[in-house]
Amino acid sequence: MDVRRRPPKPSHRNHHLQHHPQRASSAALRRSPSPAPKASDALPLPLYLTNGIFFTLFFSVAYYLLHRWRDKIRNSTPLHVVTLSELAAILSLIASFIYLLGFFGIDFVQSFIARASHDAWDIEDEEENSRFLLDEDRRPRRRPVPCPAALDNSSISAPVSNFMDPPVPLPSQDDEDLVKSVVSGDIPSYSLESRLGDCYRAASVRREAVQRITGRSLTGLPLDGFDYQSILGQCCEMPIGYVQIPVGIAGPLLLNGCEYSVPMATTEGCLVASTNRGCKAIYASGGATSILFRDGMTRAPVVKFPTASRASELFFFLEDPANFDTLAMVFNKSSRFARLQKIQCSLAGRNLYIRFSCGTGDAMGMNMVSKGVQNVLEFLQDEFPDMDVVGISGNFCSDKKPAAVNWIQGRGKSVVCEAMISGEVVEKVLKTSVSALVELNTIKNLTGSAIAGSLGGFNAHAANIVSAIFIATGQDPAQNIESSHCITMMEAINDGKDIHVSVTMPCIEVGTVGGGTQLASQSACLNLLGVKGACRESPAANSRLLANIVAGSVLAGELSLMSAIAAGQLVKSHMKYNRSSRDMSTITS
């Protein structure tokens, strides 16, 4: 896909548009809307000049009054005795203060809001868009030919809508013109939000354009009932709707003496029910105990030097304890919550991988630690001018990938959670025996995972619970990869009558601020757990509690699933709860 410069505009453009009304309407759509009226328009002078006058007046009068009052104090003259000039100065001071309090900074605030709301999804500015067009955008769109299987409806008795029929026009003629312009490539789809200033309308227009371009219906994908403004420049670009995922509740989970109702967003039958049974067994045995023993997010840039010996010089510099305080001061300037904890280096030829670990408060912290790393790299560039920064991430972090460095050293929150389940509860609630559970855990979770060459996967299904809680609470679902690293241990205690169960999870990457946690549904789930937003009294307390709840829920899920397998109930349960009896042949596509 190459980029070609548009040909020069002909001088008879207006005449040309008169003979092509459709192009004229497209050109009109590309014009920027007239600017909205501002409060500063009512001022007789330009806003910056008015602000300057009142700013100067305020400080000049304040200096004059302070000077006069100093003289009165020296001469023992009462302060309440004022001359005409002093009275005028006081009135001027009050007037300028009122103005500055009410109007100073209007232009800045208006420009900031306008930039945030209209330009968040623009990849290029309007001038660049007018000079350059991607070949892909200018090329006429062709509808894909349905595959033979899609055309074969002999096995479906219900009527099926023909996606290749002419699309139904949108209610508004303006929107219809917009859709045609997007389909033809005259208007880039990503620019709709900035052009329209209405996120819902932009999503609606984009959705209709996608249906016409692909020839496929999006019926069943909801559009209404979602605040598209809330994801602008934050969570998702070019939206056309949203996916509905049911949220179930498992619990109460009795953890560290407190009860929690755990929200789980999933489409897998039996998962919530199984976790709920595990919570019941834990509750009946007196609850679980969870301990967070490490907390630090990591980012590892990679830099290159002309020689390996030169790279080793930076290696020794970074790992020298005498230099840590200086580097920490540079790093911590990125945020009031960022606190550099340690730096670990690894050499590969003339490439140096630098793994920074830092505390990030209640945020998951990837952006925070990346900004700190950028500060340190700029600082090091002065001492090592021959250092070439290859990338802000060199995969030594390691983010969203299974890695031994995370499994051994941890990333995010490292948590261990344990519970002692009585033999009576094992038999009556979990429907199995202590000896069967211990044997199954050794043969399946430990030996079986070792034979498979598993990395951090010494468990039954920790990823199930982690993913469900992550989606419900607005975490990054891709970080389920390392967050699900878990080893499940089961040991018989009290002469084999009871069982000690534990899960150790070294890389739970969660936050209670930023990203998807600010969306309404996800925020409600965090509020249900009592960890919504940042903890003002103790920074990082909410995110750490959420990590503990995740570990406690995994413990419940592990206990229940292992019991179902030991008792031979797994297949029976899934046949009962995870099989749809809905007749799909009656569903209209």
Instruction: For 293-311, give the DSSP string.
Output: EEEEEEE--EEE-SSHHHH
Angle at 381 between CA 376 and CA 383, to 5 degrees: 105
Place of tokens 């001061």: 329
Q: What angle, rounded to 10 degrees, do the helices at 520-529 and 462-473 form?
A: 120
Nearest to 572 by CA among 270, 268, 250, 264: 270
Prior bond of 335 cis (ω within 30°) = no
Tokens for 181?
């312009």
Angle at 508 between CA 503 and CA 509, to 5 degrees: 175
H-type alpha helices, 349-403: 366-383
Length in residues, the chain: 589
State the catalytic residue, choosing from 107, 175, 237, 476.
Answer: 476
Tokens for 237?
């670009």
Active site annotation includes 19: no
- Other C-beta atoms closer than 10 Å to the C-beta of 550 total 29
CA 195 → CA 200, 201, 211, distances in Å?
13, 11, 21
Nearest to 58 by CA among 28, 98, 26, 31: 98
Nearest to 375 by CA among 335, 428, 426: 335
Measure the CA–CA gap between 44 and 537, rounded to whole angstroms. 48
Active site annotation includes 400: yes
Pair type for strands 457-458 and 486-493: parallel
Tokens for 60?
């000049």
State the catalytic residue, choosing from 72, 333, 400, 500.
Answer: 400
H-type alpha helices, 391-530: 404-409, 423-428, 434-440, 449-451, 462-473, 480-483, 520-529
Helix, strand, or coil (residue 490): strand
Tokens for 497?
């009558």
State the catalytic residue, choosing from 72, 333, 342, 574.
Answer: 574
Measure the CA–CA gap between 156 and 159, rounded to whole angstroms. 8
Nearest to 295 by CA among 543, 55, 577: 543
3-state helix, strand, coil in the chain (%, to 5): 50, 15, 35
Helix, strand, or coil (residue 401): coil
- Other C-beta atoms closer than 10 Å to the C-beta of 164 total 12
Active site annotation includes 574: yes
Active site residues: 268, 400, 476, 574
